[in-house]
Structure 1
Amino acid sequence: MGEVLKSSNSSFSQIVKATIFLKNMNDFETVNEIYGRRLGGALPARSCIEVARLPKDFLIEIECIATISE
């Protein structure tokens, strides 16, 4: 996700909304810790949803909306 943000002239600090899809909600604490470290002090709006299955049987998928730098 960092590379996509960078190539779009954006960054983790410019995320305004994120949606996290988890295969297992028991992974929430681990994901929350990593998410918090990666975003630093930024606190964008966020939703976290448990889903039955993700493409390619991934355990997590994250989509985000971010602003871009001029």
Structure 2
Amino acid sequence: MSDTEPIETDGAPSNDNPYSQGVLAGDTLYVSGYGPADPETGDVVEGDIQAQTDRVLENIASVVEEAGGDGLADVVKVTVYLTDLADYKRVNEAYGEKFGEAPPARVCVEVSRLPENVRVELDATAYLG
């Protein structure tokens, strides 16, 4: 791992778990999974699934920006984890508003449970070249 750099920012939640908020490997940034936590308090944000998805994407954008990127504009791949696929349409609405006409590649899976019992988590890969 000689050519990698951990990325840490106050603009995204951090915790005591053994992982980096992001890892830059050359021109590629791997952003860890985020739930809808406020970076200042660490608490899950209030609101519906769209508001929570917005917070997750803001957390991801902060890590990309800390690595020298242009926020969500540099994201090329996202994985969405939902505890209930009934939220799929509303997550898509929030996601579409943030990414616009040229969204990144994406996978969405339903999972049985997420940390802190949140309903949505996303991770991302960004290209900073």
Q: TM-score, normalised by structure 1?
A: 0.89
Determine the C-alpha separation between the residues in 1 that align with 2:86 and 2:67: 32
Higher helix share: 1
Unaligned runs of 5+ in 2: 1-59
Quote the RMSD (CA, aligned, Å): 1.1
Task: Report what 2:85 is aligned to.
Answer: 25
TM-superposed CA distance for 1:43, in Å, is 2.1
Task: Report what 1:12 is aligned to.
Answer: 72
Which shows bigger deviation, 21-30 or 38-47? Answer: 38-47
Aligned with residue 3 of structure 1, among 53, 62, 65: 62
Greater C-alpha Rg? 2
TM-superposed CA distance for 1:50, in Å, is 0.4
Q: Give percent identity, aligned residues only.
A: 35
Q: Which residue identity is paired with 2:110?
A: E
Following TM superposition, where does structure 1 have runs of at least 4 consecutive aligned residues deviating by more than 2 angstroms? none
Determine the C-alpha separation between the residues in 1 that align with 2:93 and 2:115: 24
The count of corresponding residues between Structure 1 and Structure 2 is: 69
Q: Which has the higher contact order (CA 8 A, sep 6+)?
A: 1
